[in-house]
Structure 1
């Protein structure tokens, strides 16, 4: 399994303020669904940060996202390893397949692959 990117998620209702602040550091908006906005570096597109008011289809807001090439293999590995699944593996309408898992520090990780 290969990791494509890792992205922190900031829970906030201040999307515009975050867009402006991270813009000062060179980030540009690359996605905005209203409840989640992703900012990326134009020179290094996998350098990203997301700002989320709350997750639209899950019971909790994740702390970070990890995009992998095979989310089904990742899901099997964390289940076999005994990790706590916080949100089950499912296909989302915005084109990702994902699940949430709790890491040893109590952080919620959104693990995903694009379909």
Structure 2
């Protein structure tokens, strides 16, 4: 299993806060909007650096602190189960083209492990 990218996720309260955060991070860091689903916006540059800002996850019971994209989400899930970590969102094929699950680490941080699915649009 290979990790392809790691994206921090910042949580804000409202869509207005989301819009303001996007504007500020774009101005200060020179990032541009790569994806906007209304509840999450991912910003990035031309070198693969990314930052996401979100209000409330569209299908999970809580927001992740970080998203880690891999080429084998099912393998990562099996590793999580074998390691006895707390899975807080099961493996799910999302409508926006990502298959993912969440686990909680020993400090309470929520990790979103995902990969792009064959169907759906990339995010």
TM-score normalised by L of structure 1 = 0.95
1: CA distance, partners of 2:19 / 2:56: 16
Runs (4 or more) in structure 1 with deviation over 6 Å come to: none
Alignment RMSD, CA only? 0.8
TM-score normalised by L of structure 2 = 0.89
Deviation of 1:26 after TM superposition, in Å, equals: 1.3
Alignment coverage as a number of residue pairs? 113
> How big is each residue's C-alpha offset from its partner over 1:66-96, in whole Å with a ceiling of 9 and x where there is no partner?
0000000000001001000000001000000
Is 1:27 matched up with 2:46? no
Structure 2 segments unaligned to the other structure (5+ residues): 118-123
Deviation of 1:20 after TM superposition, in Å, equals: 1.6
Deviation of 1:41 after TM superposition, in Å, equals: 1.1
Which residue is equivalent to 2:63? 61
> How big is each residue's C-alpha offset from its partner over 1:35-89, in whole Å with a ceiling of 9 and x where there is no partner?
00000012x12x1110110101010011110000000000000100100000000
SS in 1 for 2:101: strand
Structure 1 segments unaligned to the other structure (5+ residues): none
